[in-house]
Chain A
Amino acid sequence: MALHDTQAVADEVLVERAQSGEFQAFEELVTRHERWVYGVVMSIVRNREDTEDVVQNTFLKALEKIRSFRGEATFGTWLRRIATNSALNCLRSRGKLARVSLDQALHEDAEGVIRHPEYVADWGDDPARRFEQNQLRVILQTAIESLPDKYRIVFVLRDIEQLSVEETAQSLCLSPANVKVRTLRARLMLREHLTRVFGETPIAVEVPTDAGVGGETPAEQVLRSYLEHPIIQQGGSP
């Protein structure tokens, strides 16, 4: 049965069909979930080659285990757990090995033979809008990639995957207090980064006569000192 026009079919139904041996149903599940699985894994491991390994292994594992999937969680949640754990294991196993940055990898790809045009796709109705979306994506990528691992990964799990504090703590072997502190720092760092891109006219403030550095208000001084020397503790060490 063709599945192209059955977007309304629930994941649960597709899982049942896949369990009874229908590859098209399984492939439709892959198509539905592959984009965010790829995005989340890439956000964690930050390396295209490792990401492709982790994503492929995630779906291979799903393929092997689909028959024993009992539906206690949704298919998406189940898949997310496999993907997140595989990505974290990949990061752990890489340990202190030197990382090949995405830039280097792309640069290496660009050298050598001239490639035959093989990526053929329509540009859609509004290429300008797509271009803007791509620019926004680059801004968001640059900001999140500037975060140290320990903050970036917590942000990905908490705010992008929307895991709870407890689930995030469990996945990373951290205390919930640590997760909260790291989430706050990650959010503040990203906000700071994005404000430098998106910020309009700086807020006009009444400068008190005893103003500090560069005419900062007391609130700005607190924020600056916080960002430079984060000291917030919420019942645990960061």
Chain B
Amino acid sequence: MKCEELLRVLNDYIDGELAPSFCAEFEAHMRDCNPCEVVVDTINKTVKLYQGNTLYEIPFEFREKLHKTLAEKWNQHHHSQG
């Protein structure tokens, strides 16, 4: 396997969807090619960073407003439904 071929199946490898025979070749290539090994490792780390961190905090003022609006709507809704 060459570096370019590795890139073609990189996604499937990261998603765990690469056929076992390809997997072995993929991993053999990584053992011999440090840059590819690092790319695969850092892509995995990239995905995990985005999965493990809250990107945007809900603003305090908005949260207060949201809960107030929902409480009002809840009362209206349940009132109208008797």
Contact = CB atoms under 8 A, between A and B. Distances in A.
Q: Do A and B bind each other?
A: yes
Interface of A: 21, 23, 26-27, 30, 34-36, 38-39, 42-43, 48, 51-52, 55-56, 59-60, 63-64, 119, 121, 133, 136-137, 140-141, 144, 155, 159-160, 162, 180, 183-184, 187-188, 190-191, 194-195, 203, 205, 217-220, 222-223, 226, 232, 234
Tier of interface size on chain B = 35 or more
A27 to B, nearest CB: 6
A184 B60 contact: no
**Interface secondary structure of B, over-half rule:** helix
Interface of B: 2-4, 7-8, 10-11, 14, 33-36, 38-39, 42-43, 45-47, 49-51, 53-63, 66-67, 69-71, 73-75, 77-78
Q: Secondary structure at chain A's binding surface: helix, strand, loop or mixed?
A: helix
A223 B58 contact: no
Contact of B55 (A52, A141, A180, A195): A141
A51 B75 CA distance: 25
A155 B49 CA distance: 13
A223 B45 CA distance: 18
